[in-house]
Amino acid sequence: MALKTRFTELVGVEHPVVQGGMQWVGRAELVAAVANAGGLGFITALTQPTPQALREEIERCRSLTTKPFGVNLTILPAINPPPYAEYRQAIIDSGVKIVETAGNKPQEHVDEFKKHGIVVVHKCTSVRHALSAERMGVDAISIDGFECAGHPGEDDVPGLILIPAAADKVKIPMIASGGFGDGRGLAAALALGAEGINMGTRFMCTKESPIHQAIKEQIVANDERSTDLIFRTMHNTSRVAKNAISQQVVALEKEGAKFEDVRELVAGVRGRSVYEVGDNDAGIWSAGQIQGLIHDIPSCQELVGRIVREAEEIIQGRLARFVTSRAAVVA
């Protein structure tokens, strides 16, 4: 048994389960473990300090798996933007065949990737952005609902509405993202019109995820209420794990704080040290509401296998049992 979809066919993987880009987390060991489990993992380009370091990380991943994997390029507005074109060139030169783009105005990057025959999966948080990416020529959409870790956008539409709303209009293959972590979620995503799932938080909490064990245990201890939305007042919302720092930022924003007032609290180096040192309150770190359904720290092989098995059982067993002929109901 296998769940074969237009998405698995497009990217050439066994299972419709994807590990999206994750700053500081999407490194070779995790991406290769997802690939070896039959899913699709993305190395996070900007986690690497330079385009050359990205080239080396891609090679490191190749030494760990022979299966397909991709690279995420996240394009966010910044005062001092990273050299996006150089990172993009490193991806192209390395012969990577699949890219996940995310963020604003990806046209120039999509054009270059397509010129080199690369499959582009664009991640976005609204139907209108999905349609505009489709017009831009991307090959697939990853639609990210309000439940997700990281940037859910400003529309606040959860997956239960966003996924079918997007499926009604998007013609290219689409995977569902945000709030997925088990086979029930995968079966639901397929029912809603998606052709696979993308997960961040759930993959953070696996054996191969390169973050401190204490943070994995914190995710297991957390529940579905353990997130905060920061930067709401700045129209750049981010869903993060609820901790002493996120609570402080939310309180300061309520008092009218500007970015400058919270800059030190939200600094990237502090967030990074959470994963390195294992101190939950060292800074801001991304995590989604799916934390409420995460109860263990499996290997990627165990996790992907379990999700697909559960989804198959739900589709063939539980759901199929609801379908009955009218005669049987009347009788």
Could you say whether residue 194 binds ligand FMN (CB under 6 A)? Answer: no
Could you say whether residue 185 binds ligand FMN (CB under 6 A)? Answer: no
Could you say whether residue 147 binds ligand FMN (CB under 6 A)? Answer: yes
Could you say whether residue 21 binds ligand FMN (CB under 6 A)? Answer: yes
Could you say whether residue 178 binds ligand FMN (CB under 6 A)? Answer: yes
Could you say whether residue 44 binds ligand FMN (CB under 6 A)? Answer: yes
> What are the C-alpha distances in Å from 246 to residues 22, 38, 139, 140, 294?
19, 35, 36, 33, 21
Residue whose C-alpha is closest to residue 140's, from 10, 302, 260, 271 = 10
Closest residue to ligand FMN, Cβ-based? Answer: 200
Q: How far is the CB of 255 from ligand FMN (least distance, A)?
A: 27
In this complex, which beta carbon is closest to ligand FMN, that of residue 187 or of residue 257? Answer: 187
Residue 224 CA to residue 168 CA, distance in Å, equals: 29
Q: Within a 10 A sphere around the Cβ of 212, how many other Cβ atoms?
A: 17
Residue 174 CA to residue 191 CA, distance in Å, equals: 13
Binding span for ligand FMN by CB under 6 A among 22-30, 112-120, 214-222, 248-256: 22-30
Among 148, 162, 175, 294, binds ligand FMN (CB under 6 A): 148
Counting residues that bind ligand FMN (by CB under 6 A) gives: 29
Number of C-alpha atoms within 13 angstroms, CB side, residue 244?
Answer: 7
Could you say whether residue 201 binds ligand FMN (CB under 6 A)? Answer: yes
H runs (alpha helix) in the chain: 6-11, 28-36, 51-64, 84-93, 107-115, 127-136, 159-167, 183-191, 201-204, 213-221, 244-254, 259-262, 268-277, 300-313, 320-322, 326-330
Q: How far is the CB of 206 from ligand FMN (least distance, A)?
A: 12
> What are the C-alpha distances in Å from 36 to residues 57, 171, 282, 296?
17, 29, 33, 20
Could you say whether residue 199 binds ligand FMN (CB under 6 A)? Answer: yes
Give the residue carrying structure tokens 């901790």: 243
Task: Give residues 238-297 in contact with ligand FMN (rule: CB under 6 A).
Answer: 286-288, 290
Determine the residue type at 197: I
Residue 262 CA to residue 269 CA, distance in Å, equals: 14
Among 8, 74, 209, 218, binds ligand FMN (CB under 6 A): 74
Angle of helix 300-313 relative to helix 28-36, nearest 10 degrees, comes to 40
Among 8, 36, 125, 177, binds ligand FMN (CB under 6 A): 177
The interface mask with ligand FMN, positions 103-122, x = CB under 6 A, is --------------------
Q: How far is the CB of 238 from ligand FMN (least distance, A)?
A: 10
Binding residues for ligand FMN, rule: CB under 6 A, are: 20-23, 25, 44, 72, 74, 102, 123, 144, 147-150, 177-180, 198-202, 204, 286-288, 290
